């Protein structure tokens, strides 16, 4: 369980996103959850300098379809990072496990295959209330957290890894 608010970030520690282009692929399943995360992600990107015209959003039917949606977006749009937004809530069958494992591995595979970071913004909660708490409720909004990750990864993609100033 998350113990901190997911929405807090310090703009002074985040690269300016004005020169980056972002993709967001959003599952239509559990739309009250995914749309809230989508809105949070867009607000954070714009707050950190991203231009609205440089944010491309596509909807896909469910979380399992996020991988294909992200793949096609990477192949057809010039992007610096993609955020995959979805929500899977535990049910009475193993379907939850199969979807979560498939989406997780699919996003890992995209990160290995393409030179565009894909950010995992899929809530995998036991209850709907847990998802509400993490998509704009008492624990903040995972979409904001993932937007910040997307900005940081876009900066790494475009500038490469910087040498650490800490010696070992």
Q: Which residues are catalytic?
A: 95
d(CA 63, CA 19): 29
Residue 73: closest CA among 82, 85, 64: 82
How many Cβ atoms sit within 10 Å of the Cβ of residue 7? 17
SS3 141: strand
Residue 15: closest CA among 111, 79, 80, 70: 80
Residue with tokens 């900066």: 155
């Amino acid at each position: 369980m998350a113990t901190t608010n997911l929405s807090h970030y310090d703009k002074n520690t985040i690269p300016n996103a004005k020169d980056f282009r972002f993709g967001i692929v959003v599952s239509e399943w559990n739309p009250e959850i995914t749309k809230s995360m989508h809105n949070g992600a867009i607000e954070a990107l714009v707050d950190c300098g991203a231009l609205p015209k440089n944010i491309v959003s596509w909807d896909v039917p469910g979380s399992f379809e996020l991988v294909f949606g992200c793949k096609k977006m990477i192949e057809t749009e010039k992007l610096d990072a993609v955020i995959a937004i979805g929500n899977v809530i535990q049910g009475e069958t193993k379907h939850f496990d199969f979807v979560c494992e498939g989406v997780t591995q699919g996003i890992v595979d995209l990160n290995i295959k393409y030179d565009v970071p894909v950010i995992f913004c899929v809530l995998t909660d036991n209850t709907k209330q847990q998802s509400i708490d993490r998509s704009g409720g008492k624990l903040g909004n995972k979409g904001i957290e993932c937007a910040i990750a997307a900005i940081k990864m876009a900066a790494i993609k475009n500038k490469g890894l910087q040498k650490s100033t800490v010696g070992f």
